[in-house]
Amino acid sequence: MSTTKVKASQLWGKSKEDLKKQLIDLKTELGQLRTQKVAGGANSKLTKIHDLRKSIARVLTVINATQRAQLRILYKNKKYIPLDLRPKQTRAIRRRLTRHESSLVTEKQKKRQTHFPQRKFAVKAEA
């Protein structure tokens, strides 16, 4: 039984199996504390339950973060990336044309620009 709080800095170095094992231990301990609470245990158990829940959350956070980091490496140079790994931004920015798409010019527009370029006027600037 772990009676102290789990520190996230200690979790980052652990392997996935160690993290899962620790998660199972924490969950079983939480279950035991909850049954003791129902049976009429001391009030000190309530704070311990709180600490255990937070420790479980820390372990799950580390597991999910490492998994996402590995997925980012896997999808590094792929054409399509899963939605949850893409940058969030705003809806308008996500729907905006890309730089390449906005720079494209139609054939008709190209001809118009070559045959009728912008006129240059020599206008005397007044002081």
C-beta of residue 6 within 8 angstroms of C-beta of residue 55 = yes
Who has greater pLDDT, 44 or 3?
A: 44
C-beta of residue 11 within 8 angstroms of C-beta of residue 62 = yes
Average model confidence (pLDDT) for the chain?
Answer: 90
Rounded to the nearest angstrom, the gap between the alpha carbon of residue 67 and the centroid of all alpha carbons in its chain is 11
C-beta of residue 58 within 8 angstroms of C-beta of residue 4 = no
Question: Would the pLDDT of 18 be above 90?
Answer: yes
What tens digit of pLDDT does each residue of 58-85 get? Answer: 999 999 999 999 999 999 999 999 999 9
pTM for this prediction:
0.70
C-beta of residue 14 within 8 angstroms of C-beta of residue 59 = no
CA distances from 12 to 26, 64, 69, 70, 112 (A): 17, 11, 12, 14, 61
Q: What percent of the chain has pLDDT over 90?
A: 69
